[in-house]
Amino acid sequence: MYENAEFKYATEAAFVTPQVKQWFESVDRDRSGEISWEELQSALVNAEGRNFSESACRLMIGMFDKDKTGTINALEFQELYNYINSWLGTFRMYDKDQSGSIEEGELGQALQQMGFRFNPQFIEFLIHRSDSKNHKTMSIDQFIVTCVQVQRFTEAFRNKDKERAGVITIGFEEYLAIALNCST
């Protein structure tokens, strides 16, 4: 189900490229050297010309915020940039009609390319939970939210799955801690 799953397109950044440094500085409105979710939101625009959702931006900051301050520095921003570009590339590859959204089959193929083998019912669930307009599609920002969540839950699961059996046994409170940590 997940043994080959990796968000392998992006790697940890060892340095910040000049292009990303310039973008970081333009997004860092308060010149703190850190970017908040609000600053990130102001910089990201989806295919419909709207800013990414608050939840998408909070999740992205949370994924890369190594010191848990609620902000990311330039190096963490570079890592975020690398991931976003890889996810956008995958999304565009499967958004065959270039509508800015993907359907169930396209989502399944995109996630399979990333190494996940999810059953059709789970793919349908992912589409349904992110589709507020009932179009049976997933927008680019919801795709990124889904990628962030799948990435974070996969990492948490792998940490508990010592034998790589695809099964873990955890208590209720431990489950809640994992779920709450992965959702912020």
Within 8 A by CB and 6+ apart from 157, the residues are: 2, 168
**pLDDT tens digits for 83-95?**
888 888 999 999 9
**pLDDT tens digits for 145-162?**
898 888 888 988 999 999
Strands (E), 9-115: 101-103
Q: Give the closest residue to 84 by CA, choosing from 126, 145, 23.
A: 145
How far is the C-alpha of 96 from the C-alpha of 42, rounded, in Å? 28
Give whichever of 45-59, 130-144, 158-172 has the largest mean pLDDT: 158-172
| Residue 114 buriedness (CB in 10 A; 0-12 / 13-18 / 19+) | buried
How far is the C-alpha of 101 from the C-alpha of 103, rounded, in Å? 7
Q: How many CA atoms lie within 13 A of 45 on its CB side?
A: 6
How sure is the predictor about 8, in pLDDT bands with cuts at 50, 70 and 90?
Answer: very low
Mean pLDDT of 50-64: 86
Percent of the chain with pLDDT over 70: 90
Q: What are the backbone angles phi and psi of residue 169, rounded to the nearest 5°?
A: -120, 120
How far is the C-alpha of 12 from the C-alpha of 83, rounded, in Å? 9
Helix (H) or strand (E) holding 139: strand 137-139
How far is the C-alpha of 56 from the C-alpha of 184, rounded, in Å? 10
Q: For position 155, what pLDDT does the model report? A: 87
Does residue 27 register a pLDDT over 50? yes
Q: Does domain 18-182 have CATH number 1.10.238.10?
A: yes
Compute CA 76 distance to the chain's CA centroid, rounded to the nearest angstrom: 14
Q: For position 2, what pLDDT does the model report? A: 54
Answer for the pair 42, 25: CB distance below 8 angstroms, yes or no. Answer: no
Write down the pTM of the prediction. 0.76
List 45's β-bridge partners, or say none: 51
Q: For position 9, what pLDDT does the model report? A: 42
- 4-18, 41-55, 126-140, 145-159: least confidently modelled range: 4-18
How sure is the predictor about 24, in pLDDT bands with cuts at 50, 70 and 90?
Answer: very high
Does residue 31 register a pLDDT over 60? yes
**pLDDT tens digits for 106-153?**
999 999 998 888 999 999 999 998 877 777 899 888 898 898 888 888
How far is the C-alpha of 12 from the C-alpha of 31, rounded, in Å? 24
Ordered by start, the domain boundaries in the chain are 18-182
Bigger pLDDT: 46 vs 108: 108
